[in-house]
């Protein structure tokens, strides 16, 4: 049966591309994906597959019941876009100014819809039940996963799987890992309140730029000098804003950054050390500050047997050059919450274009669309194998 299903994926590849490119031209921001949700609903209506709309917000959950007994398995795809201007010179460039699918969520949705169409055609031979989870708002914490779960997206589900089309990895490679796979992703904001003045008379000021510069350096010592070198953590400053004129020392400076961890105790240790360093540095300059730390998504922790199942499923595909266990990624994903509720696993489907690496969340982002076929076939094969567990 797998051979027939794979052939159907190939037969529907052109439509899969059409879906992806349509969605790419019509992106919507997190929590505002109304037309995208409607598009997904209309697709299931045409297939006569029952679904629930407005699940936990803008989410859509469809249910396909096979004629044969088996497990209930959920597959998840996200469908929100990012506030980025699409700079690609392609026919399917975004038509919504300042909004872009720069993280392959359009491809995730096209893949899952195509899987639904193919499996629906073979539902008389299909074991168990497939739950298609189309999730809104992955890009912006608190995200769409938790409210969708609270609204019953995983009710009755035995296992849950998902993939990310991943341009950091070349086309033809599938990667996952048992246990820790993607990190907890937190955000922090530090506001330094100094005392501005003339750039030529700095001794009369409390320069927040100098203080902030010290903080950038001092905070890096948490990972390099406060943590066991065998542990894994990242602390990065991604934004530093102060002042509006070259010859004026401003009153305030604002820094924003992220912390990535896998261990909650390590996460708390970093927060505690940050508070010490920020307080001590600002006090040494007689400046005030505020420190706002927001915990984001928790780590994506794969269940080992299901990560192994994904590798076994992928390595049997002729399009796959390598199916491998990889080191964890310090990127974040709210798929974490599904795996806290049910056994399953998340994996990367290599989607890097040949000789053309563009990172996720970049204005020129694009991916090798052939990767959608690998993602679809890997998920279908995993569903079939999971029914035998």
What positions carry a catalytic annotation? 80, 138
With CA atoms as reference, report the closest residue to 109 among 14, 19, 175. Answer: 19
E strand or H helix that includes residue 121: helix 105-121
What are 254's strand-pairing partners? 191, 241
| Residue 55 CA: distances (Å) to CA of 146, 149, 169 | 11, 9, 32
Which of 190-204 are b and which e, b meaning 16 or more Cβ less than 10 Å from the residue's Cβ? Answer: bbbebbbbeeeeeee
d(CA 267, CA 79): 29
Rounded to whole angstroms, how far apart are CA atoms 139 and 360?
Answer: 12
Question: In this structure, are residues 271 and 337 in contact, taking their beta carbons and an 8 Å threshold?
Answer: no
Residues 6+ apart with CB under 8 A from 250: 194, 196, 208, 209, 242, 243, 244
Closest CA to 374 of 389, 358, 352, 341: 352
- Residue 293, classed as helix, strand or coil, is strand
- Tell me if residue 12 falls in helix, strand or coil: coil
Nearest-CA neighbor of 193 among 213, 211, 214, 208? Answer: 208
CA distances from 193 to 9, 140, 210, 349, 386 (A): 58, 28, 12, 45, 56
Q: Other C-beta atoms within 10 Å of 187: how many?
A: 15
């Amino acid at each position: 049966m797998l051979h027939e299903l794979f052939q159907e994926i190939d037969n529907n590849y052109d439509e899969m591309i059409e879906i992806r490119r349509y969605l790419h031209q019509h992106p919507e921001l997190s929590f505002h994906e109304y037309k995208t949700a409607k598009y997904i609903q209309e697709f299931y209506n045409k297939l006569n597959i029952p679904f629930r709309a407005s699940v936990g917000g803008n989410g859509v959950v469809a249910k396909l019941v096979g004629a044969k007994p088996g497990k209930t398995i959920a597959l998840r795809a996200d469908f929100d876009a990012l506030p980025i201007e699409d700079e690609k010179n392609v026919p399917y460039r975004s038509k919504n100014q300042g909004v872009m699918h720069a993280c392959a969520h359009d491809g995730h949705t096209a893949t899952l819809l195509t899987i639904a169409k193919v499996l629906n055609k073979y539902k008389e031979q299909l074991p168990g039940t497939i739950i298609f989870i189309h999730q809104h708002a992955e890009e912006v914490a608190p995200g769409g996963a938790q409210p969708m779960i609270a609204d019953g997206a995983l009710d009755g589900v035995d296992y849950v799987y998902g993939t990310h089309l991943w341009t950091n990895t070349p086309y033809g490679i599938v990667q996952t890992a048992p246990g820790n796979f993607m990190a907890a992703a937190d955000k922090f904001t530090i506001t330094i309140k100094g005392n501005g003045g003339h750039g030529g008379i700095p001794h009369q000021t409390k320069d927040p730029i100098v203080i902030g510069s010290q903080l950038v350096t001092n905070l890096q010592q948490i990972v390099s000098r406060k943590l066991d070198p065998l542990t894994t953590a990242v602390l990065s400053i991604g934004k530093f804003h102060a002042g509006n004129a070259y010859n004026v020392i401003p009153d305030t400076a604002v820094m924003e950054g992220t912390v990535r961890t896998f261990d909650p105790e390590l996460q708390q240790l970093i927060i505690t050390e940050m508070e010490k360093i920020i307080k001590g540095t600002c006090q040494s300059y007689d400046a005030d500050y505020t420190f706002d730390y927001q915990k984001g998504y928790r780590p994506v922790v794969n269940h080992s047997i299901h990560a192994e199942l994904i590798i076994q499923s992928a390595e049997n595909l002729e399009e796959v050059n390598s199916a491998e266990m990889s080191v964890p990624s310090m990127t974040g994903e709210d798929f974490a919450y599904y795996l806290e509720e049910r056994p399953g696993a998340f994996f990367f489907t290599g989607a890097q274009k040949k000789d053309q690496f563009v990172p996720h969340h970049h204005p020129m982002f694009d991916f090798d669309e052939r990767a959608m076929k690998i993602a679809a076939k890997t998920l279908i094969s995993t569903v079939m194998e999971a029914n035998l567990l």
